[in-house]
Amino acid sequence: MPNIDLALVICNQEEDREKVVGSLLKCSLSPICCSNVQEARTLLFQKAFRVVLCSDLLSDGDFQVILREGKKSLDHAPVIVLSHVDEWDSYLKALAAGAFDSIVCPPNPAETERIIWSALTETMRTGKATQAVA
């Protein structure tokens, strides 16, 4: 597990990104933001992150691309999906793809902080990214 305080936010929706960044700062993490999969790929190979938050609506892909292509570069960082669909099936789809958890947008700051802390705690406890229990 990386000994760093960086968080990657992959989101092209300004309002959602601002709320997530605020929650990450309250969790003592330093957010690095990008708005598409291409930028995220570059950042994932350059830096180690404690947690990754990725939107389901990106111009060149979504969280599933990050999960598929980033397995080696994620180095145990849990991926939290920023979902614009508030449906149970969408949540289960994110978990089945390997996401740690999902946050419905626009993000509720308290819920976002809780999920981030949960991801960090679980990763520290187990030494690997796991999933929330559906």
pLDDT digits (tens, 9 = 90+) for 63-95: 999 988 766 666 678 999 999 999 999 999 999
Q: Give me the CATH number covering residue 47.
A: 3.40.50.2300
Report the 10 Å Cβ neighbour count for 86.
10
In a domain, 133, yes or no: no
Domain span including residue 17: 6-126
- Domain count along the chain: 1
Check the CA dihedral 105-108-113-119 and report its sign.
Answer: negative
CA 64, CA 101: separation in Å to the nearest integer?
13
Report the 10 Å Cβ neighbour count for 45.
10
In a domain, 62, yes or no: yes
pTM of the model as a whole: 0.89
Is residue 16 within 8 Å of 56, Cβ to Cβ? no
In a domain, 52, yes or no: yes
In a domain, 1, yes or no: no
Helix segments in 70-108, DSSP class H:
71-74, 88-97
Question: Mapping DSSP to helix (H, G, I), strand (E, B) and coil, where does residue 1 land?
Answer: coil
In a domain, 41, yes or no: yes
Mean pLDDT for all residues in the chain = 89
In a domain, 131, yes or no: no
